Structure 1
Amino acid sequence: MFEDVPIQSIVASIGAIIGLIFGYIGRITRFCTLSAVETAVYGEHWVQMRMWVFAIAVAILGTFLLVQYDLVDLSNTVHMLPRVAILGPILGGLIFGVGMAAVGTCGFGSALRAGSGDLRGLMTVGIIAIVGYMTIRGFLAIPRQTLIEPLSFSLPAGATATVHGLLALAFDLEPDALAMPVSLLMTAALAIWCLKDTEFRTNRRALFGSVMVGLLVVAGWFATGYIGADEFEPQPTESLSFVAAASSTLIYFMTFTGATISFGVGMLLGVFGGSFLAARQKNEVRLEGFDEPREMRRHIAGAILMGFGGVLSMGCSIGQGLTGVSTLAVPSFLALFSMWLGAALGLHILIHGWTLSARA
């Protein structure tokens, strides 16, 4: 039945289904990186942060099982390169986090907004796509290539920049010798930290949302790494991410007659659709725009920072914070923590101005 359908179309279609579910779940459960940081820092309310961490735990376990049973080969992904990048994930993560605070959400959240008719979200996604592509292949790639990438250092043959890979290297063990114990230990530690909190444990919406998001990361790996592992046209192994997906979608529609659709394009379009369905179900579909020029300037600046920072850190809060971390890649952890720190810094600037403390 599907013999004559190009493999990239099949993978993109699966990506659209995954995105549809992600968009719907993300909207109804309010799965948001910035809200998780904001409620934890300023509201001392940790349910949304625990949603994030529990989703990470599910993604780590599911990704490990895919690799353990040889269903997916992650060795050719950007997260498993045989080098350690330090400055890019940290600096890019900080820049991305400040951009999140300026906009009020990340690239995924902006796509959710756009799906319900929010023109601010649509503009933000568009700017992220343009600036992201400029940083990948345009003139903004010059500072990235000359200042950031040379500061990465290579690892010995067979080693990976993962938690278990670096530990195995430090203790002179086989590269994959610690993959199982480290993956299971980290999954258990993160899950226990989340589930020990009664408020989170009894919040069915939060539990459902985190488990589903974690499983969608695993589904993305499976779609591209197993179904997309065509003998003649193998597809890039990837999962949920938004800066690269936004740029790919922009280029796809601009060069449609000669372009090839991809998982990221299907996924992003699916998120728009899923958000629309959830918003329509809750009667929240309406056209919204900027209230004042100052708000527009803030969104433009934030979107530029997210597009540039997302490429420097090799992924956004979803692409690194969930997809990258699910591989236990050390740069992904650096990027995620930097994004959280950048978001907290950006929120502080918005609330208190350029002061060192809230009292100042």
Structure 2
Amino acid sequence: MDFTQKTILAMLIIGGLAGWVMHRSDFCLTGMVRDVFLTRSYLMLRVLFLYVILSALSFEVMRRLGVSIQAFGPPGLAHLLGGVGFGLGMTLSGNCVFGSVYRFGSGEVTGATTILGLVFGSLIFFEFATPISGALKRIALFKAATIPELFEVDPLYIILPLVFVGALLISSWARAGKLSMKSFISSFLQPWKAALVIAFLGTLSILTFGIPLSISTLYSKAATQLEALILPQHIINNAYFTKGIAIELPFQAGKITIDNGPALDTLSAAQGSLFIGIFFGAFISAKVAGDYEINFRIPPRHYLLAFVGGAIMALSARIAEGCNVWHILGGLPYLSTSSLLFLFGLFTGSYLGSRILQRAIITTPGSAE
């Protein structure tokens, strides 16, 4: 098999396992941030910390072994504002780019609605937001792309103390029962166990394809192909769709090709395979657990919020050069300064979204589910 075929197969397997695990544990990156404001719950943030500690160590080991890892750029205003927008969108929707897929696979129709919103938001970006995004990306805050670069030290001087302190905190939380969630469902998987699996899958993704787990660019590609069907001449005349890059991966003996146009590239092939894997992994998990059910009888405002939230996420992901999965599951373990800035914006946007939800749904008489 060639590099692309190996990547497709690997991402199908990685996606299938991720979809199963995320469904069984309801491993929700949206809830990690949103629940801090809505329910004052910090359990999933502790689980995220566990993931970051494990992945930071594995990323650094891979880097020192010469594994090709797609680097994160220096921080700019685009990452902060993109994070704010993404936090707002994911909180309104109740899903993110991963959550919408595994929930769609397990029968939740708002997951599908969010996916439609993500594609629609990508179309809006192409037509209206590209110049704004370009201007924001030119406003850099500083040149250091990672925390070690910022302090001009070897990454181990940051990672080893982080791992040591993290191990103490995680051990303390585990003894106090602050990493476990109460559940009476026999098939439920504790989120901290899911974090271990997803950290392993993220490492496999880099070993296979050189990039952390992410699928946000796939929605952009779907929007491009849709526009090419409807307005082919517009695609031809727009300079944005003529751009593309190729990134060599010496360790993996291949290269990542990224084409802004409708043509398939290795990135969309990898992310498309990951999408399919997550969907069917969650679908099979729900079927085996006996809780697969499609329910269209939900308030219309929930459909609207899912769609609008998805559109906002798509716009914001393009501005911030990545979604919450890219920056949280990939950038934070990489010690990326742009991802830290995105995370700050994400919490800010989620706070705003939580306030909107509290006024629009939670405090509305008769709207509680």
Assess same fold via TM > 0.5: yes
TM-score range, shorter chain: 0.7 to 0.9
Q: Quick one: which of 272, 284, 290 aligns to 1:283?
A: 290
Deviation of 1:214 after TM superposition, in Å, equals 1.5
Q: Is the 8 A contact 1:93 1:336 kept in 2?
A: yes
Q: Would you identify which runs of 4 or more consecutive aligned residues in structure 1 move more than 4 Å?
A: 201-204, 249-255
SS at match of 2:190: helix
Q: Quick one: which of 71, 88, 93 aligns to 1:103?
A: 93
Deviation of 1:43 after TM superposition, in Å, equals 3.2
- 1:316 maps to which residue? 323
Deviation of 1:302 after TM superposition, in Å, equals 0.7
Deviation of 1:252 after TM superposition, in Å, equals 7.1
- 1:52 maps to which residue? 48
- 1:228 maps to which residue? none
Using a 3 Å threshold, how does the CA distance of structure 1 residues 335 and 165 change in structure 2: closer, same or farther?
same
Q: Quick one: which of 265, 274, 294 aligns to 2:272?
A: 265
- 1:164 maps to which residue? 148
- 1:347 maps to which residue? 354
Using a 3 Å threshold, how does the CA distance of structure 1 residues 279 and 209 change in structure 2: closer, same or farther?
same
Are 2:172 and 1:199 aligned? Answer: no
Using a 3 Å threshold, how does the CA distance of structure 1 residues 179 and 258 change in structure 2: closer, same or farther?
closer
- 1:112 maps to which residue? 102
SS at match of 1:140: helix
- 2:10 maps to which residue? 14
| Unmatched 5+ stretches in structure 2 | 182-188, 230-261, 361-369
Aligned amino acid, residue 87 of structure 2: G
- 1:30 maps to which residue? 26
- 2:245 maps to which residue? none
Are 2:189 and 1:182 aligned? Answer: no
Aligned amino acid, residue 65 of structure 1: V
With structure 2 as the length reference, what TM-score do the two structures score?
Answer: 0.78
C-alpha distance in structure 2 between counterparts of 1:78 and 1:69, whole Å: 16
Using a 3 Å threshold, how does the CA distance of structure 1 residues 126 and 189 change in structure 2: closer, same or farther?
farther
Deviation of 1:202 after TM superposition, in Å, equals 5.8
Q: Is the 8 A contact 2:75 2:141 kept in 1?
A: yes
Q: Map Cα deviations across residues 175-222 of structure 1 (whole Å, 9 max, x no partner).
A: xx4211212222333443333212135668232111111222111111
- Identical aligned pairs, as a percentage? 20
- 1:127 maps to which residue? 117
Are 2:68 and 1:73 aligned? Answer: yes
RMSD of aligned C-alpha atoms? 2.6
With structure 1 as the length reference, what TM-score do the two structures score?
Answer: 0.80
Q: Is the 8 A contact 1:47 1:199 kept in 2?
A: no
Deviation of 1:251 after TM superposition, in Å, equals 5.4
Q: Is the 8 A contact 2:29 2:96 kept in 1?
A: yes
| Unmatched 5+ stretches in structure 1 | 169-176, 226-237, 354-360
SS at match of 2:213: coil
Using a 3 Å threshold, how does the CA distance of structure 1 residues 13 and 333 change in structure 2: closer, same or farther?
same
Q: Is the 8 A contact 2:32 2:45 kept in 1?
A: yes
Q: Quick one: which of 201, 219, 226 aligns to 1:246?
A: 219
Q: Is the 8 A contact 2:34 2:91 kept in 1?
A: no
Are 2:194 and 1:212 aligned? Answer: no
- 1:145 maps to which residue? 134
C-alpha distance in structure 2 between counterparts of 1:21 and 1:260, whole Å: 24
C-alpha distance in structure 1 between counterparts of 2:38 and 2:117, whole Å: 29
